[in-house]
A and B are shown apart, each in its own frame.
Chain A
Amino acid sequence: MESFDQRPDPEKILEQIHAHQKQSMGKLKIFFGYAAGVGKTYAMLDDAQDRYRGGMDVVVGYIEPHTRPETMQKLHGLPVILPKTVSYRDIELKEFDLDEALKRKPELILVDELAHTNAEGERNKKRYQDIEELLAAGIDVYTTVNVQHMESLNDVVENITKIKIQETVPDYIFDRAEEIKLVDIEPEELLRRFEGGKIYRPDRAENALQNFFTRENMRLLREISLRCTADKISYENQNERSLSDKMANTKMLVCFGSSPSSAKCIRWTARAAEAFHASWVALYVENTESEHLTPEQQKTIRANIDLAEKLGAEIVNLTGHDIAVVISEYAKLSGITNIVIGKSRNKKTLKNLFDIDFEDKLISLLPSIEIHIIPGTAVKRNYKKPYKKSRNKVFHFSLVDCVKSFSILVFATLLSFGLRRFDIMNQNIIMVYIFSVLLISRVTEGYVYGIISSVISVLTFNFFFTEPYFTLDAIQSSYSLTFIVMLLVALITSTLTVRIKSEARLAVKREHRTEVLYEINKKLLATRDLDKIVSLMNDYVVRLFERSIVFFTVDPEQGENGVVMQAANDINASVLNSPDEKAVAHWVFLNQKRAGAGTDTLMGAAAFYMPIISQGRVLAVWGISCAKEELDHNARLFLRMIASQVAMALERQRLSDEQRNIMVESEKEKMRSTLLRAISHDLRTPLAGILGASSVIRENKRGLDEATRDSLIANIQEESQWLIRMVENLLSVTRINENASNLVMSPEAAEEVVGEAVSRIKLRFPRREIIVHVPDEFLEVPMDGTLIVQVIMNLLENAIKYSPDNSSVEINLEKEGKCAKFEVLDRGKGISNEDFPYLFTSNKPSDNKIADASRGMGIGLSICKTIINAHRGKLEVENRNGGGAVFCFTLPLKGSE
């Protein structure tokens, strides 16, 4: 029951997908008819000609080459994409060139025969998948299809015509068509055409005529197609109701198993759900027997899952011994109103006598839910053979069990001899045998040993302990009852034991899955960062499935490789990053569907690719190598459960990333705007000074004495130097902003950085004493050297400015734990308490008080703080003992991440 409670809300996803699709999807128009020859292609070409003349970019993608000459004439004038030739088993086949069409990207493309199956080796197995790709690329498509190719009508048509139609189209294709154009003619007219050889060439005609083109068939098919079209129209008319409304009314559940007749149930449910406008669930219950399924049966189950999915069901997979109980539990929990089950007439067997009928049980468990029973047909033969085969597997003979049974029986016989010696009655000897049979049933695998032992017991008892002794004569007398009791004991005990054992095994398996899922969930919750999530999941999948895996978190089209992980004895994982495999992953990203090995699309790939979808967006694509063998349905289901967990984790990660980005962005924005505000104020002052001084000098060339002129020029020089420093600071800010979160850091020797800063400050303040202490130890710190030099220079400059001229300024470098600690100390007046909180912000509330005196200091310090923060360091300030301030910052040393 673990699969459905963690899924994202399907309604929301659907709504999202629809909303999303409406923007860019191409429109599909289907020309729909009840048989070949009604004129679908002709009508399609006719319509296309109109469009073409109306100025639309129309291209003919593919028209059947066997098309009638009258129709071919209609092709005249339309641009055509030439079909590509594929050779398959020495036969040259013409196939629609999908890639060419996608490259050409017309407004409207014509692709005949929606139900066509592509030649092997094509990207898609079916043509409708090609068409889906065209629609996804925003190209409008015209196509044709006959009613018998509709998936959900497949068995109905089969019943009418007695012809099995292999090529089917899922109903959702039909549903998503913007327009259905019914091409209809009288059956009589059609048959006339047919007889006139206008539909098939004479050589092909005979066979088809006998089987298919009968008046009766044509009438029925026509009726179905008309009704189908009418349904579509009425459905559209009512479709204004919202999806969630629809959910409330009816919800259907179909149970399917490994029987091919399940397909019929699934189709029936799809049709019924369509008629009721209801959503529906396809449920598969795993139990003991599912462990012994033959490959064919597994294939059928997979086919049934695919079918149900194609028809639009939600697939649920549950485990449990008693199917009826599991179904009823699920139905109660998820508000199912109708249940559909398939039933073939059971043979009366001994076992049946003791079992309640499945449907009876279901009814007793779910009195308020409607149950529909669909009779299974013509499947008995198919079904029984593998079933028998699978039963054989249950009764595997093992030497150990034989020895066990034999020794217990011998022991019982010996005991009985002992008892007889003490003259204990025969009834008690019977008890001994019954007990031994019970014991055997308990300790051996399967039913066989118990049954055989009971027979042997009866015979031995008969032989040794009934008169006449050492004969089997008493068998038909009163001991027959004993025999029956013994047999029953053996049977019941064995059945119970087998069931308990298998249930225990299933429980362990289920427990294991749940545990793994729980573990994954727990780990995912504790994992931050995309990379870590990816490596965690890769790790798990490789361990669980023992296959190599590739994980694409972005569309490989963008050039990035997926994260691969190598399984011990699988193909080289790097293959999964080859261009071919990337193309598959890219396709999955675009189409939001599974692809690759074991699917219908791009089957030649080395891996099975599945999208991890949340909220209608593909967050990632997973590729699991299928080089050894394809994944069985259990593995796929399990993968899906894991995928839903991963989807949640990825979604969470995406949201938190987005949030963080927004925060960083707003933080940066804030910094920038405060900076700009402060600067525009601060720049004006020195510029005014420069302008003033220079104009005084120019305008009063002779009126100025030497000393005044010198001081004016000195002013200009000083102010421009100040401006330069300001601009340098600003440059360092842009440097941080350019590489937002990741500065270009390279290891630098801390002492060199200090030395550089000191030497540059000394150029500016040659007369001030700067005392430098560096440790004997060599400290290497990853940093953007230029920026840190900038920080130290800012701090030194502040220290020099805010302390008396005759005092010295100190800079100390030392190692503190895993950090390098830089300290700048001065002997000024320190920092007043009211300034402390605003020291590192560029907008001081007491701005007007010391605006000119502290010009630029606020900006300088706030920039320092930004730079140090970007290095994951800390900048702090405190007042020094004995007067003065200490600015101190730390940077993490190399290798101390």
Chain B
Amino acid sequence: MKLDIKPLILIIEDEEAICSFISAVLTSNDYHVVKAKTGKEGLSLFTSHIPDIVLLDLGLPDMDGMEILKKIRNWSKIPIIVVSARGHEREKVAALDLGADDYIVKPFGTSELLARIRTAIRHSTQVIAMNGLEAENFSVGNLEIDYNKRIVCRAGENIHLTPIEYKILVLLSKNAGKVLTHDFIIREIWGIYTDESHTLRVNMANIRRKIEVNPGAPKYILTEMGVGYRMVEELSE
């Protein structure tokens, strides 16, 4: 029913050049765009337009991007993609922990931006579509996961994983395309009060040795340095 309607994207970004570049890209890719230059304007546009997705720059002149994130998350689950400068892992992790769906680092290419937006929209519709109805399997490239039978195959061959490794892989695959922070993964797998970052890295190394052709150039699970891991939705090559 909603198929013909173009998705509406709210861009909260104070840099004129970047804002117009993003809106040019998005309009030419069949999205509606609303632009806000300040945090306040962004929030009021958000309440008046109810966009399908928000692109939020963290460095705004009037208020902290994190504040906006918190305010929106107080009452809405609409996907938010954070736009941040490179080299501030802590900021990214904080934004993700506050409920941002994804982040993109300046400078970014158009294809990267579009891919992130696609993923975000897909996840938000998934949530709506599959209330109670879980997907039964996941596949990307040669990799297949059958959630019911708890089987992981690469090119038709069964891969033996330990229970923890399987849990991590399932967690990543169910959130494919999204970056999951280390803390989030640890919390989901081991519970809240443990510092298992070393164990997580070791497990991840083992998973990669089992599912990747070359663990030094991973294709399925990508590392986001200092932030977390992301499982790809489709192979890049």
Contact = CB atoms under 8 A, between A and B. Distances in A.
A253 B208 CA distance: 82
Contacts of B202: 749, 778, 780
Interface stretch (A42-50, A275-283, A435-443, A767-775): A767-775
A786 B89 contact: yes
B217 interface: yes
A780 B204 CA distance: 12
Nearest to A772: B216
Given A748-B201, A749-B204, A780-B201, A774 B225 contact: no
A753 B225 contact: yes
Contacts of B218: 755, 759
Query: For chain A, what secondary structure do more than half of its interface residues adopt (helix, strand, loop), or is it mixed?
Result: helix
A774 B107 contact: no
A728 B86 contact: yes
B61 interface: no
A785 B216 contact: no
A752 B198 CA distance: 13
B77 interface: no
A755 B225 CA distance: 10
Contacts of B222: 755-756, 759
B215 interface: yes
Contacts of A785: 89, 225-226
A14 interface: no
B204 A772 contact: no
Contacts of B225: 748, 752-753, 756, 785-786, 789
B87 interface: yes
A724 B205 contact: no
B198 A756 contact: no
A811 B89 CA distance: 25
Interface in B190-237: 197-198, 201-202, 204-206, 208-209, 214-218, 222-226
A755 B213 CA distance: 13
A630 to B, nearest CB: 47
A831 to B, nearest CB: 25
B215 A786 contact: no
A759 B217 contact: yes
B209 A776 contact: yes
Contacts of B201: 747-749, 752, 778, 780
B87 A772 contact: no
Contact of A786 (B87, B206, B208, B216): B87
A758 B216 CA distance: 8
Contacts of A780: 198, 201-202
A732 B89 CA distance: 13
B87 A752 contact: no
B202 to A, nearest CB: 6
Nearest to A758: B217
A751 interface: yes
B215 to A, nearest CB: 6
A754 interface: yes
Contacts of A664: none
Contacts of A724: 107
A135 to B, nearest CB: 49
A774 B86 contact: no
A94 interface: no
A252 interface: no
Nearest to B212: A755
A630 B227 CA distance: 57
Interface residues of B, number: 24
Interface residues of A, number: 29
A731 interface: yes
Given A755-B223, A786-B226, A778 B107 contact: no
A47 B204 CA distance: 82
Contacts of B226: 785-786
Nearest to A785: B225
Interface in A734-776: 735, 747-749, 751-756, 758-759, 763, 770, 772-774, 776
A752 B86 contact: no
A749 B205 contact: yes
Contacts of B204: 749, 752
B195 to A, nearest CB: 11
A311 interface: no
Contact of A770 (B86, B89, B109, B217): B217
A751 B216 contact: yes
Contacts of B223: 752-753, 755-756
B58 to A, nearest CB: 16
Contacts of B197: 747
A786 B215 CA distance: 19
Contact of A811 (B86, B205, B216): B216
A864 interface: no
A813 interface: yes
Contacts of B214: 772, 774
Contact of B205 (A731, A735, A778, A789): A778
A672 B222 CA distance: 34
A301 B223 CA distance: 73
A774 B209 CA distance: 10
A755 B215 CA distance: 8
A751 B202 CA distance: 11
A749 B208 CA distance: 12
B205 A755 contact: no
B140 to A, nearest CB: 16
A785 B225 CA distance: 6
Interface in A711-734: 724, 728, 731-732
Nearest to B90: A744
B187 to A, nearest CB: 18
A775 to B, nearest CB: 9
A300 to B, nearest CB: 61
Contacts of A786: 87, 89, 225-226
B198 A747 contact: yes
Which residue, of B109, B223, B226, has the highest number of chain A Cβ atoms within 10 A? Answer: B223
A724 to B, nearest CB: 5
Which residue, of B109, B216, B224, has the highest number of chain A Cβ atoms within 10 A? Answer: B216
Contacts of A735: 87
Nearest to B219: A759
B87 A732 contact: yes
Contacts of A731: 86-87
B216 A754 contact: yes
Interface in A780-818: 780, 785-786, 789, 811, 813
Contacts of B216: 751, 754-755, 758, 772-774, 811, 813
B104 to A, nearest CB: 13
Interface string B94-137: 00000000000001010000000000000000000000000000
A745 B63 CA distance: 31
Contacts of B206: 778
B86 A772 contact: no
Interface string A182-221: 0000000000000000000000000000000000000000
Interface of B: 86-87, 89, 107, 109, 197-198, 201-202, 204-206, 208-209, 214-218, 222-226
Given A752-B204, A755-B215, 16 more contacts: A747-B198, A749-B201, A749-B205, A751-B208, A751-B216, A752-B201, A755-B216, A755-B222, A756-B224, A756-B225, A759-B217, A774-B215, A778-B202, A780-B201, A780-B202, A785-B225
Name the 5 nearest CB pairs between A and B, nearest first.
Answer: A772-B216, A774-B216, A752-B223, A772-B217, A778-B205
28 contacts: A731-B86, A731-B87, A747-B198, A747-B201, A748-B201, A749-B201, A749-B205, A751-B205, A751-B208, A751-B215, A751-B216, A752-B225, A753-B223, A753-B225, A754-B216, A755-B215, A755-B218, A758-B216, A759-B218, A759-B222, A763-B109, A770-B217, A773-B216, A774-B216, A786-B87, A786-B225, A811-B216, A813-B216
